[in-house]
Structure formats: C-alpha cells, structure tokens
Amino acid sequence: GQSLEQPSEVTAVEGAIVQINCTYQTSGFYGLSWYQQHDGGAPTFLSYNALDGLEETGRFSSFLSRSDSYGYLLLQELQMKDSASYFCAVRDDTGRRALTFGSGTRLQVQP
Amino acid sequence: GAGVSQSPSNKVTEKGKDVELRCDPISGHTALYWYRQRLGQGLEFLIYFQGNSAPDKSGLPSDRFSAERTGESVSTLTIQRTQQEDSAVYLCASSLALAATDTQYFGPGTRLTVL
C-alpha cells in the first residue's frame, strides 16, 4: 500500500519562510506532487519532483530525496493569500495512474 | 471551456435516493479521475478513465458507486441508495495522461449532503 504523512497545521507570519514536510511509503515510486487548495476551492497543481533535488517556481520550491522517501514544499515571502491547505501526493510505478494524497497541511499566515 | 467543470455544485438528497454527478473535463484530456474528499481530509481516489474505459476502479467503495464516460469527454458518477457516509465533496480531475508529470487539473467539486 501507500501512505503519506504531513503535519496537520502550520502557522507563520507574512514575509516569513515556511517548510511543509512529507514522508511517504509506497510499493514503488514515480514522483511527488504538491497541490494547494483554498477553502471551498479546487486543488491546484504547484510542483512535481521525480528526481532528487530542488525545483524552484517563483516563491515556491519543492525538494525530493528518494533515498529518504521524503520531500518538502518551501514557501518564501509568505503572503496572506497563501493561507490554504497543501497536499503532497505520490504516483507509484506500477502503472496505476491515480495519485495517493496525504491528509493535507493547513497553513495559516498571520499578519 | 478553459477548465474542468462539474455540476451540480451542491446537492442535498435524502438517504436512499440515487444521485448523478457530472464532470466536463478539459478538451483533449484523455484521462479523467474521480476523487472524494471528506471534510478536513485528503483526497480519496475513486476511479480512473483512459478514454471511455476504466482500467482502475479500485477506489470505488461499494457496488452502489458506478461511473461512465462517453465520447472521451463527459463523465457521470452515480451513487445509488445514498447513505449519510457518502456526504463529501466529489472532485473530478483530467489530464493529458503523459507518462511523466501528468499534471491533474481539478474541477471545483460537487458538495453532496445526504440527510
């Protein structure tokens, strides 16, 4: 089976940097994705890592270590609009195309 | 349309009734997925379509749940004899089904409440 663990809640202030960790257990591994979901909204894709290392997209970066079955999402220069839930998700390498999602980390950005 | 659309946005039904939820994927996306999200939880996979075929139905929780896709486009998720535990947001996503990144694009969801 597959399972992912991420913290349930994180609080930070505007302008700060926050890191949301994700550890996973899968029978195989194809890549780690991150999605953002505002309350009442649809999940939106943020980033994808298939190989070890850091991927940077503007204020957001995502890191993967396949040997540690670990990844994180780094949000810099936090803004109030970043308050949302963040989900890590994995696709295994069995050919199963569906994503398995973590339970989400609720980020609250305070002024 | 520009994105994935779903209808209705909200559905309130009585226990025991059947409901149909509709998904219109992004034009040209061959893969379509249904997920369920209970309040405060992550997304739970239900079923995946490649074209009009469903090679992976492993997430359907019971035989009360079924789905179909026609014209490699619209999909309908049907829940028969609804139960209170079926209350959740039902999300549809589509993708180009590329081997690598295969980003999934989600619709706004249908919030189902079973009384």
pLDDT tens string, chain B, 115 residues long: the values are 579 999 999 999 999 999 999 999 999 999 999 999 998 888 999 999 988 988 888 889 999 999 999 998 999 999 999 999 999 999 999 998 766 567 899 999 999 999 9
DSSP structure string for B4-36:
-EEE-SEEEE-TT--EEEEEE--TT--EEEEEE
How confident is the model at residue A27, as a pLDDT?
76
Q: Please report the beta strands in chain A, taking only residues with DSSP state E, as ranges in sequence order.
A: 3-5, 9-13, 18-25, 31-37, 44-49, 53-57, 60-65, 70-75, 84-91, 100-101, 105-110
Question: How far apart are the C-alpha atoms of A33 and A51, rounded to whole Å?
Answer: 12
**Torsion sign (Cα): B96, B108, B70, B62:** positive
The count of residues in chain B is 115
Return the closest-CA partner of residue B56 out of A101, A93, A102, A97. A97
Residues of chain B found within 8 Å of residue A33, distances taken between Cβ atoms = 103
pLDDT in tens, B94-114: 998 766 567 899 999 999 999
Mean pLDDT taken over chain B:
92
How confident is the model at residue B33, as a pLDDT?
93
Which of B45, B101, B108 comes nearest A41 by C-beta? B108
Residues of A (1-60) whose Cβ lies below 8 Å from B: 31, 33, 35, 41-45, 48, 50
How confident is the model at residue B98, as a pLDDT?
64
A2 residue type, one letter: Q
Q: Are B5 and B26 in contact (CB under 8 A)?
A: no
Question: Does the CB of A62 have a partner CB in chain B at under 8 Å?
Answer: no
Minimal-distance CA residue of chain A relative to B97 = A97
Residues of chain A scoring pLDDT < 50: none
Report CB contact under 8 Å: A97, B50.
Answer: yes
How confident is the model at residue A2, as a pLDDT?
76
How confident is the model at residue B56, as a pLDDT?
83
Q: Which residues of B78-95 are buried (b: 16+ CB within 10 A; e: fewer)?
A: ebeebeeebbbbbbbbbb
